[in-house]
Structure 1
């Protein structure tokens, strides 16, 4: 498997989907309810996903794909699995907020090896290969500095679908963040937060039972940029996408910032 070629396929597919989204947000979105938690889906989600599936499966017809809207495409349990988030930030798009991205990851036996995040608004793309670092579309390597503020860290919060509003752990974590962070962003677009962390725009991310489709691409991008990811208890972070939801809770930050972040969360 040529992962450099896979990255090229993923980047070109994500950027083509981004062009579709950028043009589509200028017109009617075809928005409708999704599930019972207040989320929505638009015609753009479906069109972007169709494009991504066609690009990936044309290049790799024997691979499996798990997509945000279509679910499992192909046989489960294969060696190679793609994870596709065709429009991360649908709720933002639905209210006219231009904060959304496209995410693609490739996993081998559940371990993410390739991650791509494309921002249609800025027309920037960031990608990473496991063990080979993370780069921007300009070719610049991502390596966020450690730059602590005396006013506390700037953090992003993300949680998976279906988390109850009165979840005790969520309330406890959010209270800790509000008391100790300079600002807490809730972007409704986790992959965008990961890209911001990998670039050094924010200081950390706290996630609770994160979604399986949008987590791997962003987490790999950040890790390959030098970001450390731990479990909420400070223990190891489970990278395999087959991990249960309880193990998809995490803290991500620069290694030198991690001890302080963990201390106020605990």
Structure 2
């Protein structure tokens, strides 16, 4: 195959690296740097609430990822958490501003900043690439456990090269569910607490890792059977949703509608418990919709 034909096939690249390879490289390099800063951040500020934290390491990590990606794909758009004002309205406006983007990278440099600040395992780098609004690449890297989760649309999902598959649990009673304590205290947290209360007596157990991205990676890997949370952002979940879908699972909003980049209130499951979970959240008045 001649060089000019290669260029016809991939007109948006300026290098021979695939978007997936670039995402893996960015996540791995940034994750390793983040780990070196564990317990050594210099700035600590709050965003949406006193519980919504950001550090100089979040900002440095996002800049690193941006440079690593845009070096290869300078024409692509980039949506990173640290470049957006806090709050659901700002998040929705930012996403809407990229509605016409052909290729959009959606990045959370540290998902689980509170865990990072506390020196508590449970934070990761999350990188997704959307093509005309559909996620086609998802990479999540946990530097503490050195676990790299990768998904490509239509090509499956893997953790260090081994295919991931969702769990086989057939009902909520036999399921371990991931839940979140959202930092948005006025709207999201009260609804999440309603859902958590309803699920506590219907499931085998509940887990809150403190990272939406890791929750989704763990659902994809079959470590948990589902995840419910109200009040999420696109950068929290874009990469993880593809991991779940490519591992045989199902992702919707809390009403059961198909996932899209604008979804903020989410259910992600192995598929087998999805309808039962949705009904419990609906009956609890905890959909947020």
Shorter-chain TM-score above 0.5: yes
- Alignment-derived partner of residue 136 in structure 1: 159
Pairing 1:101–2:128 present: no
Residue number among 31, 53, 56 corresponding to 2:69 in the alignment? 56
Deviation at 1:164, TM superposition (A): 1.3
For residues 85-106 of structure 1, what are the alpha-carbon distances to aligned partners after superposition, in whole Å with 9 as ceiling and x for unaligned? Answer: 1011100111121211000000
- Alignment-derived partner of residue 286 in structure 2: none
For residues 106-140 of structure 1, what are the alpha-carbon distances to aligned partners after superposition, in whole Å with 9 as ceiling and x for unaligned? Answer: 01121111100001011121111111110112x11
Residue number among 109, 115, 131 corresponding to 1:92 in the alignment? 115
Structure 2 Cα separation of the partners of residues 27 and 231 of structure 1: 37
Pairing 1:255–2:255 present: no
Deviation at 1:48, TM superposition (A): 0.9
The farther-off stretch of 115-124 and 203-212 is 203-212
Deviation at 1:221, TM superposition (A): 0.7
Residue number among 24, 28, 36 corresponding to 1:15 in the alignment? 28
- Alignment-derived partner of residue 45 in structure 1: 58
Higher-Rg structure is: 2
Structure 2 Cα separation of the partners of residues 187 and 124 of structure 1: 15
Q: Which runs of structure 2 are paired with 1:145-160 in the superposition (5 Å)?
A: 145-147=167-169, 152-158=174-180
Cα distance, 1:133–1:150 mapped onto 2, change above 3 Å? closer
Residue number among 280, 286, 289 corresponding to 1:264 in the alignment? 280
Pairing 1:36–2:57 present: no
Structure 2 Cα separation of the partners of residues 98 and 83 of structure 1: 23
For residues 25-60 of structure 1, what are the alpha-carbon distances to aligned partners after superposition, in whole Å with 9 as ceiling and x for unaligned? Answer: 143443222233521111211111111010011111
Pairing 1:231–2:231 present: no
Deviation at 1:167, TM superposition (A): 6.1
Give structure 1 stretches of 5+ with no counterpart.
none
Asked if structure 2 preserves the Cα contact closer than 8 Å seen for 1:159 and 1:211, the reply is no
Q: CA RMSD, aligned part only?
A: 2.5
Cα distance, 1:254–1:167 mapped onto 2, change above 3 Å? closer
Asked if structure 1 preserves the Cα contact closer than 8 Å seen for 2:167 and 2:224, the reply is no
Structure 2 Cα separation of the partners of residues 99 and 160 of structure 1: 15
Asked if structure 2 preserves the Cα contact closer than 8 Å seen for 1:37 and 1:162, the reply is no
Cα distance, 1:145–1:162 mapped onto 2, change above 3 Å? closer
Asked if structure 1 preserves the Cα contact closer than 8 Å seen for 2:251 and 2:267, the reply is yes
- Alignment-derived partner of residue 287 in structure 2: none
Asked if structure 2 preserves the Cα contact closer than 8 Å seen for 1:237 and 1:250, the reply is no
Deviation at 1:249, TM superposition (A): 1.7
Cα distance, 1:213–1:163 mapped onto 2, change above 3 Å? farther
Cα distance, 1:119–1:108 mapped onto 2, change above 3 Å? same
Match of 1:69, SS state, is helix
Deviation at 1:159, TM superposition (A): 6.6
What TM-score results when the alignment is normalised by the length of structure 2? 0.81
Residue number among 147, 152, 176 corresponding to 2:198 in the alignment? 176
Residue number among 191, 216, 231 corresponding to 1:194 in the alignment? 216
Deviation at 1:151, TM superposition (A): 5.2
